[in-house]
Amino acid sequence: MIKINSENILKKKIGFWNGICEKSLGKLCARRQHFVKEVFKNKNSYGYDFLNLPDDKKMLADIKKFATEQKKNNWENIVVLGIGGSALGLITIQDALLGPLHNVFNKPRLFVVDNVDPDYTDTLLSNIDLDKTLFIVISKSGTTTEPMLLYGVVKDRLAGKDHAKHFVFITDPKKGELLKIAKKEGIPVFPVPEKVGGRFSVLSCVGLLPAALAGVDINSLTKGALEMRGLINKTEAENNPALLLAILQYVMDRKKVRPMTVLMPYSNYLYRFSDWYRQLLAESIGKNKKTGPTPISALGTTDQHSQLQLYNEGPENKFIIFMRVIKHKADPINASKMPKDMAFLNSKKMGFVLDASYKGTAESLAHNKRPNITVEIPEINPKNLGALFMLFEFQMALLGLLYKVDAFNQPGVEYSKILTKQILSQTK
Amino acid sequence: MIKINSENILKKKIGFWNGICEKSLGKLCARRQHFVKEVFKNKNSYGYDFLNLPDDKKMLADIKKFATEQKKNNWENIVVLGIGGSALGLITIQDALLGPLHNVFNKPRLFVVDNVDPDYTDTLLSNIDLDKTLFIVISKSGTTTEPMLLYGVVKDRLAGKDHAKHFVFITDPKKGELLKIAKKEGIPVFPVPEKVGGRFSVLSCVGLLPAALAGVDINSLTKGALEMRGLINKTEAENNPALLLAILQYVMDRKKVRPMTVLMPYSNYLYRFSDWYRQLLAESIGKNKKTGPTPISALGTTDQHSQLQLYNEGPENKFIIFMRVIKHKADPINASKMPKDMAFLNSKKMGFVLDASYKGTAESLAHNKRPNITVEIPEINPKNLGALFMLFEFQMALLGLLYKVDAFNQPGVEYSKILTKQILSQTK
């Protein structure tokens, strides 16, 4: 079971000024317990509807049926054209469950193209066999600049081939430009959920359809999310992981004046999870010229040799969330006899060294009175990943209530879009 | 030529409170001009010696000779075992010059293993043909836990093969555990520079040897660094890009109370550059419990759909540095006729859309009075990348003088290492 270890945030460990008293933490959680109920009560409202995604049996059945049919095409490449919430959840699934080396050694390869980089796009399209490639275009409105431009470029490259066979659209099932094109050209369409924003959509067709096509067990992903939802629903006060995470985040930012939150998994497979979380926190709570802790990505042990110096000896403005994986699938052992100075590595398993590094880092931060907590994950698998998605999405809904902001809009990106479209419309 | 555009940081553009007056900026730079001279004067001292790396003709010749000899082995994989400064510079070179898709489509593949992740390591070693793989171990002292553990694991996997053929060490040429092993087993050794810290070592054997083996033009990298060094040496006041960058960084952090610096390239190929920069800034200036802006990585346009909401409407605590690439190697054009709402994309080149997105984003931030500057790069090539390395390394040397900290040590990571070794020594 996923657990939160908050020992290194308590006053008895890191002192009066930086820490929280255990009793107060319990009280703070108890006092905000009604927010958990409020989120569940709102579950059919816009935004909060992410809670219902894992109940959608028809969606799962439709996705699996399509994935099974597509097997006959033996796709070598699944290429997703989407950005932001239409990309980051899927990238997280890919890295966590297929692994960061998947595309180098396995097929079908899964490419998530979430930028309009000319060289990257050209390199990709020139090196893959287009006859053996399925393109999935994701845009709710069909008016997102990046995926629509990518769609245009890919369509040109597919000239002369059967478009309907090489494209799938994930879009608004009732209206919009992509829907019109799909109807005209006979391209299969899957729905973007109506009342769920992009950054909360990973457990809809947006994340699950491409994942299923790449061979991920989406049933277990969904099941893990459902179990976490049940746990959050029935657990009181500081034993409720979503409530505890939300309260700690809020207190660290608002009461302890630590405006930055570092998410630092000790696993290459969870590094991109922190990119997904970064969007979730930045877009949901960064509002009103005032609110919004800044999320920062880090990776253990890698960033012990990069960002840790600043975390340990820089200004006291950070709250650190570690992610620790208890059990690994493979775990190479070091049978070689090391030189004398390094003899402590003899006969050690790599997972053990990784975990010792995490412990040393967390303790060194606590020693310097730097607050940190740890999300403990028994192992990386579809069920636990689904649970993590639900946990942090629920945390965000709670943070919206704590910060008194709408966690489900993003008005601050509109003006940039208007200016960009103006520039593009004026010039040839 | 690489240029700094600082228009969106001026008072006339973003107002009195957030901006800097053009005249004051000139004066500030002029007043600190002597720091540039001081850095050059110190060039033979510890740390500052990074300035001399591109002059080392013998090093370049040795690397090229070795790379040429190795061609006969037709390596399919170059695997680097190193972490922190022994990895991030090389990863930057790989992504910028070979591209983020290199390992999927090209050989020799270049893997930089900068973590002790059990599953990642096992997946890599199980999927590559060890007979066709060269391993490069990088550690100055030969006592860095991660590369030494990886070395031990790899050595076991190579049992029965000719070690001396499959290994190269980059280490202290005078002492240390790796040197002893190399002498005993006849493994080739290349030097880690004596007076240059890891994070400033990209233009030594640490970055250049693996890059050369992977086919990168290291002559041009070095030449670009030399040209930038010349430019910094001869240019006065605010026309000096390194001095201007340092002054802006310092003023934004210390005078305008913006403790976070976002580096946001508009190019997939420069995304990892911001990881390299992150270590450089975090370890060099994050000191004394007080100083150190926090570096944050972002990518355009991708993060317009993730972090931009927070940058535009969150707390006013960020200074944003864009990196803009003017010319692209390939530039796919969108010949497809778009739906009516998206007709502004018709006949547009992708690079043009990317650049319009950058402009729209920079302007939207300026409109919200959020200070941002842009590093303009004519195109991504070895010469310009070498120049960028020198530019930011020099900026860091100047920041050390401005903040009055030793930019070349990292005392804050030692305690974590001690604790980790204690844990590993106590248990079996």
Q: Please give the average per-residue pLDDT across A283-310, as a whole number.
A: 95
Nearest by CB to A145, from B118, B278, B353: name it. Answer: B353
B388: closest CA among B397, B376, B400, B399? Answer: B376
CA closest to A408 among chain B residues: B309
At A426 the pLDDT is 85
Residue A97 has pLDDT above 60, yes or no: yes
Q: Which residues 6+ apart lie within 8 Å of B184 measured at CB?
A: none
User: Counting one residue from A and one from B, how many pairs have CB atoms under 8 Å apart?
Assistant: 426
Taking 80 as the threshold, does the pLDDT of residue A189 lie above it? yes
CA distance A250 to A257: 10
Q: Estimate the crossing angle of helix B241-250 against helix B33-41, to 10 degrees.
A: 110
CATH architecture of B3-40+221-405: 3-Layer(aba) Sandwich (3.40)
CA distance A50 to chain B (A): 18
Q: How remote is the C-alpha of B270 from its chain's centroid?
A: 9
- Is residue B354 less than 8 Å (CB to CB) from chain A? yes
Across chain A, mean pLDDT equals 96
Instruction: Assign domain A48-218 one CATH number from 3.40.50.10490, 3.90.1150.10, 3.40.50.2300, 3.30.2310.20.
Output: 3.40.50.10490
All residues at 6 or more sequence positions from A314 whose CB lies less than 8 Å from its CB, including other chains:
B282, B285, B286, B287, B289, B290, B291, B292, B294
* Rounded CA separation B68/A352 (Å): 40
The single-letter code of the amino acid at B223 is K
- Give the start-to-end residue ranges of the domains of chain A: 3-40+221-410, 48-218
Query: How does pLDDT run across A51-64, given as a tens digit for each residue?
Result: 999 999 999 999 99
Quickly tell me which residue has 């000239």 as its tokens.
A159
* Displacement of CA B301 from its chain's centroid (Å): 20
Q: Would the pLDDT of A336 be above 90? A: no
Chain B CB within 8 Å of residue A117 CB? yes
Instruction: Using the Cα atoms of residue B247, residue B253, residue B256 and residue B261 in order, give the sign of their dihedral.
Output: positive
Query: pLDDT tens across A203-244, in order?
Result: 999 999 999 999 999 999 999 999 999 999 999 889 999 999
Phi, psi torsion values for A137, nearest 5 degrees: -100, 125
Q: How many helices (H) and strands (E) does chain B have?
A: 18, 10
Compute φ and ψ for A326, nearest 5 degrees. -80, -45
Please work out, in degrees rounded to the nearest 5, the angle formed at the alpha carbon of residue A47 by the alpha carbons of A46 and A51: 110
Residue A91 CB-half CA count within 13 A? 23
Hey, CA dihedral for B46, B51, B54, B56, is it positive or negative? negative
CATH of region A3-40+221-410, choose from 1.10.1060.10, 1.20.1730.10, 3.60.21.10, 3.40.50.10490:
3.40.50.10490
In eight-state DSSP terms, residue A142 is S
Q: Calculate how close chain A gets to B61, using CA atoms only, in Å.
A: 30
Q: Which residues of A are identified as catalytic?
A: 283, 305, 417
Looking at A156-160, B201-205, B334-338, B359-363, which range is the least confident one? Answer: B334-338
DSSP H helices, A134-217, are 145-157, 163-166, 177-185, 205-213
Q: Could you report the per-residue pLDDT of A339-394, keeping only the tens digit for each?
A: 888 999 999 999 999 999 999 999 999 999 999 999 999 999 999 999 999 999 99
* Confidence tier at A428 by pLDDT (50, 70, 90): low
Amino acid at B239: N
Identical topology for domains A3-40+221-410 and A48-218: yes
**pLDDT score of B361 more than 70:** yes
pLDDT tens-digit profile of B124-137? Answer: 999 999 999 999 99
pLDDT at site B427: 67
Q: Is A149 on the interface with B (CB under 8 A)?
A: yes
Please report, as a single letter, which amino acid is at residue B323. M
Contact assessment for residue B334 and residue A147, using Cβ atoms and an 8 Å cutoff: no
Measured in whole angstroms, how far is the alpha carbon of residue B118 from the centre of its chain?
Answer: 26
Instruction: Report the C-alpha gap between A266 and A303 in whole angstroms.
Output: 10
Q: Do A117 and B259 touch (CB under 8 A)?
A: no
- Location of structure tokens 């040209």: B227
* Confidence (pLDDT) at A23: 94
Q: Has B283 been annotated as catalytic? A: yes
As a whole-number percent, the residues of chain A with pLDDT over 70 amount to 100
Instruction: Compute the distance between CA of residue A283 and CA of residue A297 in angstroms, rounded to an integer.
Output: 15
User: CA B374, CA B175: separation in Å to the nearest integer?
Assistant: 44
pLDDT digits (tens, 9 = 90+) for B332-345: 999 888 988 899 99
Residue B209: HSE in the Cβ half-sphere, 13 Å Cα cutoff: 32
Chosen from B403, B424, B428 to mutate, greatest number of chain A CBs within 10 A: B424
> Would you tell me which residues 80-99 of chain B have a C-beta closer than 8 angstroms to some C-beta of chain A?
83-85, 87-88, 99
Closest to B170 measured CA to CA, from B149, B139, B135? B139
**Which one of B153, B357, B410 has the shortest CB-CB distance to A334?**
B153
Minimal Cβ distance to A119: which of B145, B180, B329: B329
pLDDT of residue A427: 67
Look at residues B406, B398, B49 and name the one whose alpha carbon lies nearest to residue B195: B49
- Please provide the average confidence, as pLDDT, over all residues in chain B: 96
Q: Quote the distance between the C-alpha of residue B104 and its chain's center.
A: 22
Count the Cβ atoms, other than its own, within 10 Å of residue B208. Answer: 30
User: What residue type is assigned to position B363 of the chain?
Assistant: E
Mean pLDDT of B22-39: 96
**DSSP line for B188-217:** -EEEPPTT--GGG-TTSHHHHHHHHHTT--
* Mean pLDDT along residues B227-232: 98
Does the structure show a pLDDT above 70 at A286?
yes
CA A385 to chain CA centroid, Å, is 9
Tell me, what's the ipTM? Answer: 0.97
Task: Tell me whether the omega of the peptide bond preceding residue A301 falls within 30 degrees of 0, making it cis.
Answer: yes
HSE on the CB side for A263, CA within 13 Å? 23
Nearest to A342 by CA among B415, B192, B144: B144
CATH topology of domain B48-219: Rossmann fold (3.40.50)
Predicted TM-score (pTM) of the model is 0.97
Cβ-contact A364, A1 below 8 angstroms: no
**Most A CBs within 10 Å, among B88, B102, B116, B355, to test the A interface:** B116
Q: Which two tokens stand for residue B95?
A: 């992504």
Confidence (pLDDT) at B280:
98
A302/B99 CB distance under 8 A: no
Residue A283 DSSP label: H
Does the beta carbon of B253 lie under 8 angstroms from any beta carbon of chain A? no
- Give A104→chain B minimum CA distance, Å: 5
Q: Which residue of B has its CA nearest to A302?
A: B115
Tell me the nearest-neighbour CA distance from A183 into chain B, angstroms. Answer: 13
Give the range among A186-190, B397-401, B420-424 with minimum mean pLDDT: B420-424
Q: Do B127 and A146 touch (CB under 8 A)?
A: no
Measure CB to CB from residue B342 to each of A148, A304, A364 and give the nearest one.
Answer: A148
Residue A136 has pLDDT above 90, yes or no: yes
Of B146, B227, B238, B283, catalytic: B283
Alpha-carbon Rg for chain A in angstroms: 23
Round to whole Å and give the CA distance between A346 and A349: 9
